[in-house]
Every structure is written in structure tokens, then in C-alpha cells.
Amino acid sequence: MSLVTLPPELRSLCRKLTSTKPEHLPNLLPFLLQDVQRCRGPLSEPLESKSSANGSEAAVLVHKLKTQVTTLLNGRSVQGRFAAVALVKAIIEAGGWQSLSESEPWVRGLLIILQKRGPIVIKELCVVTLTKIYMMIQRYQTLVRQIVTPTLPGFATACIQILKPTATSKAAKAPLSFNDTVFEAFSSLIPLFPTTLRPFAAQIRNVARPYLAPTTSDGQFVPEALQRSSRRLVVRLHMTAAKGGGSDEWAKHLTGLVKDVHNTADQVFRAVQETWESSSGYVRQAADFSLDPTGGGTSPDQLPEWTGVQAGSERIVGLLRFIGESLRCKTKTPVTIPVSSIFDLTRRISSIILRTSATEKSESTQMNAAVGREEKDELWSVFPDVQVAAMRLLSVLAQRLGRNFLPLAQETLDQILRMFDASYRLPEIRSVAFALSNVVLQLCRPSMTKINVDSLTLTIQSCCQDLLGAGGHLRVPRQQATMGLQNGSKSNNGSQNADSFLPSQSDEETLPVILEPEHKTAAEELLVTLFSNLPQQYINSSLRSRMLRTAILCRIKKAQVASVLHPARDKNGRTADAILPYLHQQFPHDEIVEILRFNLRPTGTGAVGDFMDHDDGMGIEYEASVDNPANGSTFDKPFEAAVPDAQGDTVMKNTASEAVVSGHHPVAEVQPSPFSTHQNKRVTKTTEVEAQLTSVNPLKRKTETDDIDVAVSKRVEVVAVDTTVVDHGFASVGTIIESSLGQMIKTGEDADNSDDESVHLQMELDESDDDAEEEEE
């Protein structure tokens, strides 16, 4: 029984191609391609399986379809050729080997269209179709000898001719989108057929040269996608080398790129007196200060010429990205990475420190008196882009080497901090610095010292600031009214801002901060790494409080979990209060949080001073609070709880001002614990529990007399407070302390009855004793 079926789309497809004029086929092309995909069975069936009546009819229709496509491909109608090229690609993909074995006429027809004059859009579609055919044929050596070997050189010649027409050719220059398509095609075919494409390596490199590291001196705008595709293509050209020479070609290519960066930097950085000395043997070239910075050349081995600091910085950035692309691309043979040369290059860039108000004069780089002020200002305006490119290169190197990057991790961290301290005001610098620091800190964790952790203060503060701003938790700074008082007299300056004297609502307004997705992701990942990979005992308590506040307000679950798993301990081994209640309140149904809840409950038992002392506590507070407008935060309260305000926003409320001392609990609002299953109950009364617990061994069996003595010694007083606690606030510290000391505060509908019983506990015991004495009498 034959397995060949005859889908109705096959008849419909043949009928549409026959009855529709070629000029109208592009409009029907989406439906035609859909019908081809649904005819995968008949198109991929071998001829010997079509002996049945149903299979014979399918074979006739398939032959008719291919004949109609060939007629359109060789026709004069531009619209018909466009539809035919698209149908060829769809039939090849659906038919597999059966269609590939019969594709030689189509391949030669596509090459003819590619070589003749015509619309560039059809030629671009021909490049895509031929590349797809060559890639599918690569698995079948017989078809490679029959189809690829004779036709691939013609394909490469036609593409190069379109990209770089001769002076006598009347063809117009191809658009940049076509260049991108051709470069991607060559990048896909070179690893598959390196020997066949070896004679065209020099021509391909010459065609791609203007797009590798473009500058403003070139006179054209090169899209970022075209730059990446051209770099990827040139990197893969080392595969076309003779047998055994691919690794040498790759190393030679990378060494040349590093040298080009140094040569360009000699011109661009001439306005500063560099203190860097090369460790790889490079000698700086003297610059001619009578001419503008310039570089490049016209030879095939050089990149295009450039002039000016702006163009020179663009060339450095392009070359650094080119080196990164070389490290990122896969190779067919093992290669040797010149790590020392690349690291020496980034060390040169990081050694230049811009003089700002935050840097000392002795730390900043000295300027060259022979260079004008305009060139110096232009250098400082473009230098952050060079720093970003250098850090991205270090990031690629770290990802490529993996754990082998460990010996360079500490020095890399030093380079990051130098560049970050100089240009952290720019979002681009912060984004790439966060991402690179996240990778490096995971490698440096075993060797981090107190000095290393302290050097990360600015990075940690910037990370928290960006996350709080993106989460809408930064207050608009209050405008200071300028009274214009000087020497006891009022100034008559008429340019004062009159609005500064009016009441302002800035304390209730938030500062909108918009971050790029990769920037926010890098900051969140760095915050998690700061909790999990840094020695927490080396982090300043106020800085850790800022990190905790950021993790809670921005609802970063991974950071909160990491803070719970890596608590801060002092030299005596004491830990601060855990934020597990806040974590459970935000993620009550998360599996990880549930595991932590049952295994790492926050404990509050112990002797006096069992909690760590903090300068500002672990309080959770918004930026620029009204309580302390001088420094923009209120961290002087050890315990804070958050409840929604009338507008629905989360505001912070102090629930207790002291830690537990000798078992006495401060007056605090009792809020529903996030660990309780009855979180929806509304508590209308607050209790103050004052108890003196005696030290009793829990494993010792107590007698009935001991139970009575302990019960009588407890005095429980209940004070009703007219306070209503909302259901959705964070658990107060009073609740946590009560649960940790074993004092159960019962709330609910029978609160009044339980309170009365608690108040008269000792009185009932006394009355029972009196009744017993009367019965004895």
C-alpha cells in the first residue's frame, strides 16, 4: 500500500500558477508558499514509491509544478521571476533530498539572474536561495560534486562584482542591505566549503574592509548590523587557509588588530601624558603636533584613512569591537589567544583618568601643553565611548576563557573601578560596568579582602540608585530657596526663582528614571552577586542596609533570597534581623520562599546584645524622606515596617525603636504575621506583654507543682489601643519577636474574651485556692 497522499493544495497550486498572470503572482505569493509547505509529502517522495494510481497522479502534478516554476524563472516578467525564486526556495526546503537532486537547472537559472542586470531585490532573494541550497547539499557528497563545485565559484564572482563594480561597469552601487545579505551568505558558506572559496579570500577581505571600523571621515553611515556581519566574515576567512595554517592566520589577524589600536591611540591620546608602559613590547610612536590626528591608508592591508579626534575614537571603538568579534566567533582548529597583548591594551585605556571634581589632581592624567584646549575637550567627550568598548572587550574575553580568566580577575576589577570612577555619571558606563563586575566578582570571591570590598562602594551605591530610580522610589529633590542674603543685607537680584518660596509637593513626587532593559538586568544580577559572592562581614552596615532596601522595594526575589542565605555577621558571629517576612509577604506562593520559611525562620532569642549593632539599622525607607531631608534618607530606626497609605502607595512606618532586651518587648503594633495562614483577619487591638521567663530545661519533666508556680509567676497585662492595622502591610517586628520568644498573641473574633481571661488569670487562680481552703474546712 502506497503511503503517498494527494493533498488538495497541490492541485490548487498548479491551477493558480497556470491561470494567474505573472504580474499578479507577487500578490498571491504568501498563499502559494503556504500551499507548498502543505505539499511536503508528494514533494519529498522518491519516484519508486509513486507506482500506485494516487502516487502517479501526485508525480504528474509535482512535475507540472516544477515545470511551471522553471518557466517563470526563465521568463521576461520581473514579477514572475521574483515569485519563481521564492517558490524555488520553498520547494527545496519542503522536498529535501528529492528536490535537491533535481535542483541543478534552478541553480544555474538563479546564477543567470544574479549575473544579469535587474532589480536588486530579486538578486538579494537569489543570494538567499542559493545559500540555502548550498547549505542543504553539504551533507550529500555526490550532490556537492555535481552542483556545488561547478557553480559556487560563479556565485562568489557574481556577488563580489555586485558589491564592487568595476569602473567600466554601468551598474549602480548596491545598497548596504544587499552587502549585509552577501556577507552573511559568505559567513555561512566559508566553514562548509573553505577550499572552494579559498581563491576569493583576498577579494572578500577587500570588499568588507570599509565596513569593519567605519568613521565619520568615510562620508557614509554604516549600520551596526553591517559592521557585525563584515567583521564576522573577515574573522572566518582564516578557515580558507591551507591545511594546518588556519590557527596561524587567526593569530596573525588578531595581533594586527591590537597593533592597529595602539597606532590609532598614539594619535588620539596625544593630548595626555600617558604613564602606561607596554608589557608586550609595543613602543609608542611620536606624534606630529603641527597636524591634526590622522591614520589609516589606501593599501589593501590598511583600513580607510581618518582625520580628527572624533574619527580616531570611532576607529578605536570599531577595532576593539572587531577584536571582541574575533574572540566570540568559533574556529575549526584550536587557536592561541594573545591574552597578554589584549590585557595590555585595556590597561592602557584604563590608565587614563579624566580630571573631575571627584578625582584628586594627583590622580588625574596630566595634559600635554603642546595640544590645544579644543582637542583636549574633544578627547574627553569621546573617551567614555572608548572606555565602554574596552570593558565590553574584557567581558568577551572573560566569557571566552571562563574559569581560566581567574588569574586576571583581580586586575580586571581594578581596571573596571578606575574607568567607573571617572565616568560613572553616564548610563552606558554603568550598564557595562555592572555586567562585567558581575562576572569578575564571581571569580574573585575567594580572594576578596576588606580593601577590595570597600573599593566597590561607589559601584554598589550606583547600582542601588539605578534600581530604585527604575522602580519609582526616588524622590524629587527639594528646591532650595535662595534668599540672597549676603553680609546681613538682602540682595536685589531680580533673577531669583519666585516659585521656590511657594509650598511644594516635591516630597510626594518621584523622580522618573528610565533604564535600558540590559542596564536594569545587569544591575539586578549585580545586586544578587553582591549578596552571594562578597564577604558580608566586610560590607559596611549602612551599605548593606541600602542593598536590602533596594531589594525589597524593587521586589527582586533573587537578591532577597541571597541576603537571607548569606546574612551579615559580626566578629562575634551575631547576625542581623532577617528580611524573610518581607520576602514571604511579596512572594507568598513561591517554592523557594516556602523552603526558606520552613527551614530558616528568623530567630530572636538569646542574651542581651544578641543582635548586631548597626549604624542605621536594617530599616526600609524611601529616598529623601521628610524625616531627614538633609541626607535624603532615614536609617536611624532599627526596625521598619511598610504599610499602604491612602493613595495605595507603600509607605514606611516605624513599629519599634529598640531591640529585645532581657525578654522585655517594646510597645508595638501587632500586625498579622506573613507566616500565619489567617492573614486576612483585621486586628483592632494591640497588646503589651510583660513577662519574665525563667530558665527551664525543655527536656526536663516538670511536676504539677512546677507548672502552677510558673503560671502564677507570669503576669499578663492587656492594654487596648485604638489602632487599626491594615491587612496588607509587612509584618511588624513585634510579631516576629513575640513568635521567636514563644509568646503567642491571639487575635480574632474572640479577642475580647481571651483578653478578659488573660487579665483575670491570677485572680481566678487565687479564687480557686480560696475555694479549696473552704472545702477543707
Is residue 338 scored above 50 in pLDDT? yes
pLDDT tens sequence across 249-278: 999 999 999 999 999 999 999 999 888 888
Q: CA distances (Å), 366 to each of 149, 313, 382, 421, 624, in order?
A: 61, 20, 18, 17, 38
Q: What is the pLDDT of residue 490?
A: 53
Could you report how far apart the first and last alpha carbons of the chain are, in Å?
A: 110
Distance in angstroms (rounded) separating the CA atoms of residues 109 and 90: 16
In the chain, the percentage of residues whose pLDDT exceeds 70 is: 68
434-454 average pLDDT score: 91
Is residue 4 scored above 60 in pLDDT? no
Are 397 and 458 members of one domain? no
Is 773 domain-assigned? no
Q: CA distances (Å), 214 to each of 217, 227, 255, 319, in order?
A: 8, 8, 20, 10
Average pLDDT along the chain: 76
pLDDT tens sequence across 500-537: 565 655 456 777 788 999 999 999 999 999 999 999 88
Which of 548, 574, 597 marks a domain boundary?
597
Q: What is the dihedral of CA 41, 44, 49, 51, to 10 degrees?
A: 80
Name, in order, each residue with C-beta under 8 angstroms of 651's C-beta and a sequence gap of 6 or more. 622, 642, 643, 644, 645
Is residue 439 scored above 60 in pLDDT? yes
Is residue 466 scored above 90 in pLDDT? yes
DSSP class of residue 725 equals B
Q: Number of structural domains, the chain?
A: 2
Grid coordinates in use for 720? 487596648
Of 100 and 627, the one with more pLDDT: 100
Describe the crossing of helices 78-95 and 104-115 by its angle, rounded to 10 degrees. Answer: 140
Tell me how far the alpha carbon of residue 706 is from its chain's centroid: 63
Q: CA distances (Å), 584 to each of 5, 60, 69, 592, 671, in order?
A: 59, 68, 64, 10, 14
Grid coordinates in use for 400? 571566552
Are 273 and 388 members of one domain? yes
Grid coordinates in use for 377? 575637550
Are 281 and 413 members of one domain? yes
| Contact present, 239 and 194 (Cβ < 8 Å) | yes
Are 259 and 322 members of one domain? yes
Is residue 410 scored above 50 in pLDDT? yes
What are the backbone dihedrals phi and psi of residue 683, each rounded to the nearest 5 degrees, phi first?
-95, 125
Name, in order, each residue with C-beta under 8 angstroms of 634's C-beta and a sequence gap of 6 or more. 619, 621, 625, 627, 628
- Alpha helices, H only, 588-720: 591-599, 704-713
Tell me how far the alpha carbon of residue 115 is from its chain's centroid: 44
Q: Give the confidence band of 203 by pLDDT, cuts at 50, 70, 90.
A: very high
Q: What is the pLDDT of residue 172?
A: 67
396-412 average pLDDT score: 93
Is 745 domain-assigned? no
Is 547 domain-assigned? yes
Q: What is the DSSP string of 337-400?
A: --HHHHHHHHHHHHT-----TTS-TTTSPPBPTTS-HHHHHHHHHHHHHHHHHHHHHHHHHHHH
Are 456 and 558 members of one domain? yes
Grid coordinates in use for 75? 521568463
Is 777 domain-assigned? no
Distance in angstroms (rounded) separating the CA atoms of residues 303 and 313: 14
| Contact present, 672 and 660 (Cβ < 8 Å) | no
| Contact present, 334 and 404 (Cβ < 8 Å) | no
Q: What is the pLDDT of residue 80?
A: 93
Please name the residue that has the C-alpha cell 542565605: 565
Q: What is the pLDDT of residue 430?
A: 95
When mean pLDDT is compared across 241-250, 404-413, 448-457, the lowest value belongs to 241-250
Is residue 168 scored above 80 in pLDDT? no
| Contact present, 650 and 630 (Cβ < 8 Å) | no
The β-bridge partners of 490 are: 485
What are the backbone dihedrals phi and psi of residue 95, each rounded to the nearest 5 degrees, phi first?
-85, -20
When mean pLDDT is compared across 133-142, 161-170, 613-622, the lowest value belongs to 613-622
Q: Give the confidence band of 474 by pLDDT, cuts at 50, 70, 90.
A: confident
Is 253 domain-assigned? yes
DSSP class of residue 402 equals G
The β-bridge partners of 341 are: none
Describe the crossing of helices 427-444 and 457-470 by its angle, rounded to 10 degrees. Answer: 120
Is 5 domain-assigned? no
Range of 6-15, 204-213, 577-586 with top mean pLDDT: 204-213
Distance in angstroms (rounded) separating the CA atoms of residues 774 and 360: 90
When mean pLDDT is compared across 295-309, 449-463, 564-578, the lowest value belongs to 564-578
Please name the residue that has the C-alpha cell 561597469: 169
Are 295 and 387 members of one domain? yes
Is residue 493 scored above 60 in pLDDT? no
Q: Residue 621 carries which side chain, given as an amino acid letter?
A: E
Are 269 and 315 members of one domain? yes
Distance in angstroms (rounded) separating the CA atoms of residues 734 and 723: 15
190-210 average pLDDT score: 94
Grid coordinates in use for 526? 549585580
The β-bridge partners of 114 are: none
The β-bridge partners of 616 are: none
Strands 650-656 and 489-490: unpaired
Distance in angstroms (rounded) separating the CA atoms of residues 671 and 736: 10
Is residue 154 scored above 80 in pLDDT? yes
Which of 541, 570, 597 marks a domain boundary?
597
Distance in angstroms (rounded) separating the CA atoms of residues 14 and 91: 13
Q: What is the pLDDT of residue 219?
A: 86
Is residue 358 scored above 90 in pLDDT? no
**What's this model's pTM, rounded to 2 decimal places?**
0.74
Are 414 and 450 members of one domain? no
Of 552 and 7, the one with more pLDDT: 552
Distance in angstroms (rounded) separating the CA atoms of residues 636 and 566: 23
Whose CA is closest to 548, among 533, 566, 535?
Answer: 566
Describe the crossing of helices 373-401 and 427-444 by its angle, rounded to 10 degrees. Answer: 40
Are 317 and 452 members of one domain? no
pLDDT tens sequence across 283-299: 888 888 888 899 998 88
Grid coordinates in use for 392? 565590553
pLDDT tens sequence across 716-744: 333 333 333 333 333 433 333 334 334 33
Distance in angstroms (rounded) separating the CA atoms of residues 143 and 134: 10
Distance in angstroms (rounded) separating the CA atoms of residues 350 and 386: 10
Is residue 113 scored above 50 in pLDDT? yes
Q: Give the confidence band of 44 by pLDDT, cuts at 50, 70, 90.
A: confident
Of 253 and 708, the one with more pLDDT: 253
Which of 547, 580, 597 marks a domain boundary?
597
Give residue 537's domain range: 443-475+513-597
Q: Residue 775 carries which side chain, given as an amino acid letter?
A: E
736-762 average pLDDT score: 40
Q: Give the confidence band of 685 by pLDDT, cuts at 50, 70, 90.
A: very low
Grid coordinates in use for 614? 548597626
What are the backbone dihedrals phi and psi of residue 290, each rounded to the nearest 5 degrees, phi first?
-80, -15
| Contact present, 153 and 196 (Cβ < 8 Å) | yes
Grid coordinates in use for 348? 592602557
Q: What is the pLDDT of residue 500?
A: 58
Q: CA distances (Å), 638 to each of 391, 630, 726, in order?
A: 39, 19, 22
Q: Residue 604 carries which side chain, given as an amino acid letter?
A: G
Q: What is the pLDDT of residue 537?
A: 86
Q: What is the pLDDT of residue 502?
A: 59
Is residue 26 scored above 50 in pLDDT? yes
Whose CA is closest to 230, among 303, 157, 161, 128?
Answer: 303
Is 67 domain-assigned? no
Q: What is the pLDDT of residue 166?
A: 64
Are 409 and 464 members of one domain? no
Q: Give the confidence band of 691 by pLDDT, cuts at 50, 70, 90.
A: very low
Are 272 and 399 members of one domain? yes
Is 399 domain-assigned? yes
Is residue 491 scored above 90 in pLDDT? no
Is residue 414 scored above 70 in pLDDT? yes
Please name the residue that has the C-alpha cell 557553480: 151
Name, in order, each residue with C-beta under 8 angstroms of 542's C-beta and a sequence gap of 6 or more. 614, 615, 616, 635
Distance in angstroms (rounded) separating the CA atoms of residues 70 and 105: 8
Please name the residue that has the C-alpha cell 563584515: 230
Of 538 and 483, the one with more pLDDT: 538
Q: What is the pLDDT of residue 519?
A: 95
When mean pLDDT is compared across 1-5, 554-558, 747-751, the lowest value belongs to 747-751
pLDDT tens sequence across 221-260: 999 999 999 999 999 999 998 887 888 999 999 999 999 9
When mean pLDDT is compared across 157-161, 216-220, 427-431, 695-699, the lowest value belongs to 695-699
Whose CA is closest to 515, among 430, 621, 411?
Answer: 430
Are 468 and 371 members of one domain? no
Determine the 3-state secondary structure of 491 from DSSP: coil
The β-bridge partners of 656 are: 639
